[in-house]
Structure formats: C-alpha cells, structure tokens
Amino acid sequence: MDIPNFPECDHAIVKSLFEYSDYELVQLLKQHPDEGKYFTAMFCRYSPVVYTLIRHSARSTVQSEYLFALTWRHILYELSGLDLPIDPPANFSLQAWLVNLTAACINQASLPDVEEIHYNLQEASPPLWCYVTRSLERLQPLHRLVIVMAQTFRWSNTRIAAYLQAEGQRISPKSVAVLLTDAQNSLNAALPSDIQAIYFGDTDATAEDDLGGELTDLLDLSDLNLSDLELDQPNLASEA
C-alpha cells in the first residue's frame, strides 16, 4: 500500500516545527487556536499511521480518502478540548490517542456512496480542507448559504435569488453576485494566514478573487443539505 505524499510536509513553516515534541505541538495548538501550522505539523508526523489504519478498513479508495479527511477534521475538533497531563513523558502518547480516535471514526462512520463523494485527496490535503470548512462555519449564515449554493450545488445567481426571495430576502440576481464576492472575501479573511502561506504561497501576490475561487472550489459539503444551513438575516434592500 502506497502512502500519499503531502507536499506541505516539506514547507519551511512546517519543517521548522519538527523539533517540537507531540506534547509541545498540542500545547501550542491549544494556545494559538487561530494558527494552523501546529495541526499541520502533527498531520505530517502521523498521517501515515492514520492513513494505514483507514485503508486497512476495506473501504473503497474514494470512501477511505474521504474518511481520512473526516477523521482529521474530528481530530482537530477533539484536540482543542484535549486535557494534557502535567507529566507528559509518563502519561501522554499522541500516537496512542490518534490510533484510538481513528478506530472510533472507522467504527462509527456512515459514509455516502462513492458517486456522492466530491472530496479529492490530491486536490485538498486534510489540514487545508479542515481549515477551509472551519472558516466556512464561522461565516455569517447568509454568506455561508450563498457560498454553498454557488460552489457546492452550482446554482446560478438567478436561482439563488429565487431561493432567497422565497425565504423572505429581497434580493436581485445582481445583488447575489455582490453578496457572493463579499462571502468569498470573508472566507479568505477567516482562513489562518499561516495555512494560506503553506498552501498558496505568497498570498499578497495572489488576486483576492483567485484565492476566493481556489478556497470555495475545495469545499466538499456532500454531507450537508440546504436545510442544515440556518438563515437568520434581515431582509436585504432590493436592487434595480
């Protein structure tokens, strides 16, 4: 079984953290929740272990890679609440914790059929995917909704406007285009700067629209329906 190669593991930001212990990386992640490099360093250190466990669970490659990403998303969530022992050498093993959590994800996973999965491991490494989806979750509901409708469901501005009007929003297709641009800019701003540097390089030299397009193209929300996205916004003034 071939273990995927993840280019971010050779990035200078990530390599600078290789000298830190597991305990220190977890500490730093908890102390700096708005930075993504510590989680990425942990991913680079333990992705072979997690990937091997999941591939041996006898799922198809597409499903196992999707579960691989979902597992790392769950790991990121659980790390934020992980209680670290006072005496790390004697009482802390990140690898054992990851193995147990991965086993739980394998046993509890309810995966969609292959044709319903849009996640592509080669296009979106789990740390990038995790932080893009986390950034999406932090957007205001209306921004999150229009991004999902435009990028996940591929709806036109006219169809989005019709949906929003049915939900009580006074908005024209022209206004949807402006709203979508604002939503993409908000998504850019919500993504940690170190994650942008690791995966997109010099973001100062990258057009904002290009970065927004790259981020939204990474979103796989096959496990969401429009009904999962609450809309609680005041009516928008319609434009001619």
What is the pTM for the complete model shown?
Answer: 0.85
Do 95 and 159 sit in the same domain of this protein? no
Do 99 and 170 sit in the same domain of this protein? no
Does residue 76 lie in a domain region?
Answer: yes
pLDDT band per the 50, 70, 90 thresholds, residue 239: very low
* Structural domains counted in the chain: 2
Q: Is 162 exposed, middle or buried (0-12, 13-18, 19+ CB in 10 A)?
A: middle
pLDDT at 32: 96
Does residue 87 lie in a domain region?
Answer: yes
Q: Can you give the residue range of the structural domain that contains 185? A: 126-228
Does residue 219 lie in a domain region?
Answer: yes
pLDDT band per the 50, 70, 90 thresholds, residue 214: low
Please state the rounded mean pLDDT for residues 195-211. 71
Does residue 207 lie in a domain region?
Answer: yes
pLDDT digits (tens, 9 = 90+) for 47-73: 999 999 999 886 789 999 999 999 999
pLDDT digits (tens, 9 = 90+) for 92-113: 899 999 999 999 999 998 888 8
Mean pLDDT of the chain: 85
